[in-house]
A and B are shown apart, each in its own frame.
Chain A
Amino acid sequence: MYDVSAVRNDFPILSRQVNGKPLVYLDNAATSQKPQSMIDALVDYYSRYNSNVHRGVHTLSMEATDAYELARQKIATFINAPSPDNLIFVRNTSEAINLVAYSWAAANLKKGDRVVSTEMEHHSNLVPWQHAVAEAGAELKLMKMAEDYSLDLSELDELLTPQTKLVAFTQMSNVLGTITPAKEIVAAAHRVGALALVDAAQSVPHIAVDVQDLDCDFLAFSGHKMAGPMGIGVLYVKSEVLEQMEPFLRGGEMVLEVTYEKATWADLPMKFEAGTPSVADSIGLGAAVDYLTALGMDNIRQHEVELTTYALERFKELEEVTTYGPTDMSIRGGVVSFTMGNVHPHDIGQVLDQAGVAIRTGHHCAMPLVRSRLHLPATARASFYLYNTEAEVDALIDGLKTTSRFFGDASSRRS
């Protein structure tokens, strides 16, 4: 294990105050904070070798290109991709999934086909498929959430018909923290000849992910949730699938030869990276991956399991609080969604903010899950990362006790 107090010193933002109180940042499922080494990588790039990549013979351009491709290599190693060429840099998970929807699905989904997803998706892995099936005349079917907030696989065999072309699912729910049996689902998809897409936005930052072990065809994640910068994300695509895919965006940087009439495409993965890429942010993500690797993903996971276990125990002190998510920590990440009597999450968030505690309130970009399955207008959510501490969980619980005392009366009279 690592020393959490030493790790906290690596994150400059964690020493700031909010409303006169030390910041307690518990909104990590929305975005994580950044270590100084990552921030330095961005500053270093812009201070020393800012230049466009993959052109120019001048020194700066070569340095920038080398750093950009080294970052791709580091990230490929981090998820155990066979080659850096399997990785396409995008802006974020949503863009990665849209790339698959507009390139692969547009060419491969036909009338009568089926896409299977789950009830616990973030909008980013639901809305693109709603559109893709509508365009193709295909249908979208969903795996259900079970009573214990795990993913219900009992209907998987019926859902996976020979018409099923894609199974697109989250590896970790951003609302419930549920970790899904990704390897099993990928294997089931492959048995009926479907491809499998893993939304790894919440998993790659928190657990060790090995794309070759999962055997998935697509895997998408964002840099900013894993100590990297905003504006950079990754789509991993298995080689044999990637080779068959047509570009999604066309223009500069992605071409081999252009005449006034037509163009041929550059090699993979540049064929999918039209225009000047986000060079600094890619390098920043490489630095973030270095940071996570040095701590060790298994250590990070263990830290979050211990912290979440502690938090769930402390939540039990609050009678009027209901938490949502699996109780089995082997299938749960560091996410705790909760409600408190009839006190609206927005009011909870406001009182906590006054105490310096940052949580998320609302539907967490999973509106159908929160409203139609949990039957709630909104929830409050605390989500942890590698730098959070038990003392911060205590600050959260203290803040909730204050909230409860203050609104308690109101909540009982409205119920």
Chain B
Amino acid sequence: MQAPDGLDDLYQDIILDHYRSPRNQGALEHPHLHGEGFNPFCGDQIHLTMTLGEDGRINGVGFVGQGCSISQASASMLSDQLKGKTLDEAEAFVRMFKGIMQGEEVSEELEEEIGEIASLQGVRQFPVRIKCALLGWTTLQDAIREYRETAS
């Protein structure tokens, strides 16, 4: 169905598709990293688990959550692109996405690289929803920070 007037940038088909069928659903049994994200403003929750391969790259991702379409779709898109990244690369990925949400231009090159995630640019027109879009990402950032603190 067509999005209500004025909301087609926010509720793009690809976003609704991730909301309806979130990818990488579930909690991994023996994760190396895990994070809990909570946005008390709207009650959105994300539980993120990840495993690392011997090469130090993320080889398993699972998330469960409840919340609005934007928070869940954004986390789903993120989970889809984490595998194969080192933790440093994952952190750079978070910084890149935060930059986009803060209004940084997305070059054609970057748009190609991030694929579906580019569809979240429409969220920028709705400032209160930026926090929703960021929830999965800040949860990832916290998970990496905690992993490093425990490991060191």
Contacts and interface: CB of A to CB of B under 8 A. Distances in A.
Interface of A: 19, 344-347, 350-351, 354-355, 361-363, 367, 370-371, 376-378, 402-403, 405-407, 409-410, 413-414
B4 interface: yes
A351 B4 CA distance: 7
Interface in B1-45: 1, 3-7, 10-11, 16, 19-21, 40-45
Given A363-B43, A377-B45, A19 B6 contact: yes
A242 B21 CA distance: 60
A350 B42 CA distance: 12
12 contacts: A344-B67, A345-B43, A346-B67, A346-B129, A346-B132, A347-B69, A363-B40, A376-B43, A403-B4, A406-B3, A406-B11, A414-B19
A375 to B, nearest CB: 12
Contacts of B45: 377
Given A346-B129, A377-B43, 19 more contacts: A19-B6, A344-B68, A344-B69, A347-B68, A347-B69, A347-B70, A350-B129, A351-B4, A351-B7, A354-B5, A361-B42, A362-B41, A363-B43, A371-B43, A377-B45, A403-B4, A406-B4, A407-B69, A410-B20
B131 to A, nearest CB: 10
Closest 9 CB pairs of A and B: A377-B43, A378-B43, A344-B68, A346-B68, A410-B20, A346-B42, A413-B20, A354-B6, A347-B68
A362 B68 CA distance: 11
A410 B42 contact: no
A377 B66 contact: yes
A405 B44 contact: no
B20 A409 contact: yes
B41 A377 contact: no
Contact of B42 (A345, A354, A407): A345
Contacts of A402: 4
A355 B43 contact: no
Contact of B67 (A350, A377, A410): A377
Most interface-central of B4, B6, B19, B43 (chain A CB within 10 A): B43
Nearest to B21: A413
A406 B42 contact: no
Contacts of A407: 69
A378 B1 CA distance: 26
A355 B66 CA distance: 26
Contacts of B4: 351, 354-355, 402-403, 406
Interface in B40-60: 40-45
Contact of A362 (B16, B42, B129): B42
Given A362-B42, A378-B43, A354 B7 contact: yes
A350 B126 contact: yes
A346 B19 CA distance: 14
A190 to B, nearest CB: 37
Contacts of B10: 350
A273 B69 CA distance: 47
Most interface-central of B44, B69, B126 (chain A CB within 10 A): B69
Nearest to B132: A346
A413 to B, nearest CB: 5
A344 B70 CA distance: 10
A406 B1 contact: yes
B36 to A, nearest CB: 14
A50 to B, nearest CB: 35
A346 B68 CA distance: 6
A286 to B, nearest CB: 35
